[in-house]
Amino acid sequence: MKQLALDLAGPARPTLDNFITGVNGELLDHLTRLATRRAREQCTYVWGRAGSGRSHLLQATVAGLQQAGASAVYLACAGDTLVEGDLERMDCVALDDVDRLGDAGQATAFELFNALRERGGMLLAAAAVPPAQLALRGDLATRLAWGLVFQVHALTDEAKARALAEHAVSRGFRLAPEVSDFLLTRARRDLPTLLAMLDALDRHSLETRRPVTVPLARELLLAVENRGSRPFDGAQDRLVARDPGGPG
């Protein structure tokens, strides 16, 4: 089991294709058009609770724009983040967790918004709450609400279970409902982590010639817990990188 714990792979790199849509079809369609340069909305704001997939969507949109030849960058914000440098020259800047910005960061984000708007660039922003509830300086919060605003709705447990079952079929086995239930109650509940856990279970099942069962899932989680960390802790929303094509 020691080797199994070390072999756990993180969630797959975010793309718009591997985002499980749920009831977010309109949002996904809009971001797909942005990523393929078939639309050019200057400001898009996405909000939703942690684990809903908003970071996935921003990273995936930036990656799609880069593949289409645009200059695009993703930045996960924190209290000491300053939104500066050459960002105003980009075709698109994605600011994740914009609600975490401190005073200085808010000032630079306000300047960036104006510079991008003047040059015809795009700003994508994401946070946990809608613009009207942002605890940011008023002029910045107002500007973030100027464009299109979408709520990203987290998948229900039923939708996650269906996604896990479909992923299992794509890997060549049938996932018993009790295994899905176990993962949903014991592992991290965001879908990328659940899918990565299922991949690990499948690999271990093949290596040990044992079926994917609740005991096997319990064994895997115990190995990770004994390592002193939860599976892929924070991976789904805290990928702090300016370039989704780089390490991470």
On whether both 86 and 135 belong to a single domain, the answer is yes
Whether the predicted pLDDT of 205 surpasses 50: yes
On whether both 139 and 170 belong to a single domain, the answer is no
What single letter denotes the amino acid at residue 70?
A: A
Q: State pLDDT tens for residues 142-166.
A: 999 999 999 999 888 999 999 999 9
On whether both 176 and 136 belong to a single domain, the answer is no
Q: Residue 244: what pLDDT?
A: 32
Provide the 3-class DSSP secondary structure of residue 113: helix
Separation of first and last alpha carbons in the chain: 25
Q: Residue 193: what pLDDT?
A: 81
Q: State pLDDT tens for residues 15-66.
A: 999 888 989 999 999 999 999 999 889 999 999 998 889 999 999 999 999 9
Our count of domains for the chain comes to 2
Q: Residue 228: what pLDDT?
A: 58
61 domain residue, yes or no: yes
Instruction: Give the residue from 151, 177, 198 where a domain finishes.
Output: 151
Q: What is the extent of the structural domain holding 74?
A: 25-151
What single letter denotes the amino acid at residue 77?
A: C
CATH code where residue 159 lies: 1.10.8
Q: Where are the alpha helices (DSSP H) in the chain?
A: 2-6, 25-35, 54-67, 103-119, 138-144, 157-170, 177-186, 191-208, 214-226
244 domain residue, yes or no: no
User: Averaged over 189-213, what is the pLDDT?
Assistant: 88
Q: State pLDDT tens for residues 91-145.
A: 999 999 999 999 999 999 999 999 999 999 999 999 999 999 999 999 999 999 9
On whether both 121 and 162 belong to a single domain, the answer is no
Q: Residue 11: what pLDDT?
A: 58
On whether both 84 and 109 belong to a single domain, the answer is yes
Whether the Cβ atoms of residue 152 and residue 48 lie closer than 8 Å to each other: yes
